[in-house]
Amino acid sequence: MTQEKQNTTHFGYQQVPVDEKVKRVAGVFDSVASKYDLMNDLMSMGVHRLWKKFTIELSGVRKGHQVLDIAGGTGDLTMQFSRLVGEEGQVILADINASMLKVGRDRLLDRGYGGNIRFVQANAECLPFPDNHFDVVTIAFGLRNVTDKDKALRDMTRILKPGGRLLVLEFSKPTNPLMTKAYDLYSFTALPLMGKLFAGDSDSYRYLAESIRMHPDQDTLKGMMEAAGLSEVEYHNMTSGVVALHRGIKL
């Protein structure tokens, strides 16, 4: 492998220097932060709420738990976890992007949340938390934007308590050929158009579609989680594999 190849990574379908990807991803989310919730509802026709509900159910979070919501964005999962852990527990909403973190913090505080929630700007590849600390770690629709996914998965495993669970909710590979064709057509025509009409930004939504295609498929991600030190790794396909929820346990 050449030195040039080692120092580049993909940003959507483009090859860019590793250092540049973080800046470009930040630019995407700076652009979409204010319209993120609206666009989620439009793009998924509201189905993202069902995907997240299933994630909550499989997390096993209960009173007193310590929970980390990585790439927590506008706080959909954090909000639900806050209710479940109660006053005895704590939820940390972490995001690498300051704009997204501010939108999430403002949204949660405006709705009366915050007593058991902390907000931390953090990079998933080098999380500023101690070993064996969290009962549950989640990352929803964020792993595909991470440059070194293997490193991030190892660090997420590091901060889990023995018996703790990592849940990765992410776009994946459709299991039905007809769905694949329909999904490709939708992703590369409808998504950029909606981004232009409702968020004034077609390029960021084109990148989001490309980043989904570059993300590892279900079985590859399962293997990556096992290599990171997780056991009993399983995944659940939703919407014909358009989205998959992976769960692994730290022994």
Binding site as annotated, residues for S-adenosyl-L-methionine = 74, 95, 123-124
Nearest-angstrom CA–CA distance, 112 and 235: 34
User: What residues does 204 pair with on adjacent strands?
Assistant: none
- CB-based contact 81:91 (threshold 8 Å): yes
- In the three-class reduction of DSSP (H, G, I as helix; E, B as strand; rest coil), residue 65 is classed as coil
- In the three-class reduction of DSSP (H, G, I as helix; E, B as strand; rest coil), residue 121 is classed as strand
Cβ contacts of 121 within 8 Å, gap of 6 or more: 94, 95, 96, 97, 98, 101
The binding site consists of: 74, 95, 123-124
C-alpha to C-alpha distances, 213 to 38, 178, 188, nearest whole angstrom = 23, 16, 11
